[in-house]
Amino acid sequence: MSTEMTLPADQKLISLDPEQYTAAVYKPFLARLESAKARHAELIADGKFTGNISTGAGMALATEGRAMWRRIRTESEAERKTRKAPILEIGRLLDAKAKEIAVVALPGEEAFDAIIKAEENRKEAARIEKERIERERIDHIQKYIADIRARADECRDQPSAFVAGVIVAVDKIAISSDFTQEFTDQAARTLEETKQRLTGILASAKAREERERHEAQEAKAERARIEAEREELERLRAEKEKQDQKIKALMAALAEANKPKQLEPTVEVEPAPVVDTAPDCAAPSVENVEVPTEVSAPQAEPAPESAEPPATAYAKPRPDDATIVWALMSLYDASAAEVIQWIADMNLADLRANFEA
């Protein structure tokens, strides 16, 4: 819509071009400046007076020149004020009138402005709501896709039966393009990738469970072996204790049988007939040795000074009797009774002589 106003002929506004108006006002002054420059060109050189100011004629020329230039300056300033005064008044009047018009026009403007802004706000709110709905739609679809992907993640370190159940559930998922819309291809790829991952996870879970079953069986067998070894050690320990007791009893009996008796008067005893029920080479069992009630023991002679140390003197600490018997039993796989009988049959004097020769 055009904003030009149509005024009566007698109320036509005078429109001036600022530059043209200014040039027209100062055109006479510019001409006077040029005339003054030409007139005083020989009197002023490089800003200095060339005449003789000390003479009357020189002073008159200088006074006349100053007056000419001063008039140009002062008259141009007076012209400026004269021309500007009505312009300033026009500006003041224009400002005042514009304020009066604004006071009247502003309420009408604000009424329409309120209507326009209300509509703009409504449209902006609708745009924001539309964007929110669109964002929620996209977020809902992306969450749906992420939930499909998460079905494989939740199967990590789970039993194979759990994974198999998830595979059944995932196989029932059908991608609807009405829901996923522009994300249908992404959802389909995610579903296929999830199925492949679940297949691999199921295989890994079965292999892990098989390995765990095997390890459990090995651990159970190892515990059984350890328990059997413990029971065997307990049995051997108990058997050793019994054997130790038997050995101590046999060694005590052997010591008692070899213990020298106190000297008593010699009594001749008619030897009893011996029934030969065993080979000549068989030695009598210590258990069957009969100690006579009266034995003629020879008088013990004092040992010479050069006699060797008693048989109980050893270069190393002597092991106890039970340890000796156990060593012989283990070496020859013999019973304690057999070992004791061997010891009883030994000719210790000859044995010592042989080893000391």
pLDDT-derived band at 299 (thresholds 50, 70, 90) equals very low
- Closest by CA position to 245, among listed 325, 303, 188: 325
pLDDT in tens, 265-281: 554 545 444 444 444 43
In the chain, the amino acid numbered 243 is Q
Question: Which class for 205: exposed (0-12), middle (13-18), buried (19 or more C-beta within 10 A)?
Answer: buried
Q: What's the rounded mean pLDDT across residues 33-48?
A: 83
Place of tokens 């494989």: 152
Residue 93, pLDDT above cutoff 60? yes
Q: How far is CA 288 from CA 273, 284, 293, 344, in A?
A: 16, 7, 15, 12
Q: Is the dihedral of CA 44, 48, 49, 52 positive or negative?
A: negative
Our separate counts of H helices and E strands in the chain read: 8, 2
pLDDT-derived band at 243 (thresholds 50, 70, 90) equals confident
pLDDT in tens, 336-350: 888 888 888 877 767
pLDDT in tens, 108-150: 999 999 999 999 999 999 999 999 999 999 999 999 999 999 9
What angle do helix axes 336-345 and 321-332 make, rounded to 10 degrees?
A: 110
Mean pLDDT across the chain: 81
Read off the tokens for 317.
């600490």
Instruction: Give the integer Cα–Cα distance in Å for 161 and 159.
Output: 5
pLDDT-derived band at 97 (thresholds 50, 70, 90) equals very high
DSSP per-residue string spanning 41-88: TTTEETTEE-S-TTSHHHHHHHHHHHHHHHHHHHHHHHHHHHHHHHHH
- Closest by CA position to 144, among listed 197, 171, 184: 184
Question: Which class for 243: exposed (0-12), middle (13-18), buried (19 or more C-beta within 10 A)?
Answer: middle
Pairing of strands 48-49, 44-45: antiparallel
Read off the tokens for 225.
């072996």
The residue count for the chain: 357
Highest averaged pLDDT of the listed ranges 8-12, 56-60, 190-194: 190-194
pLDDT of residue 305: 45
Instruction: Give the integer Cα–Cα distance in Å for 50 and 89.
Output: 47
Read off the tokens for 26.
């100062």
Q: Are 49 and 43 in contact (CB under 8 A)?
A: yes
Q: In the beta sheet, which residues pair with residue 78?
A: none
For the chain, helix, strand, coil in percent to 5 are: 70, 0, 30
Domain ranges of the chain: 28-150, 154-231, 317-357
pLDDT in tens, 147-169: 999 999 999 889 999 999 999 99
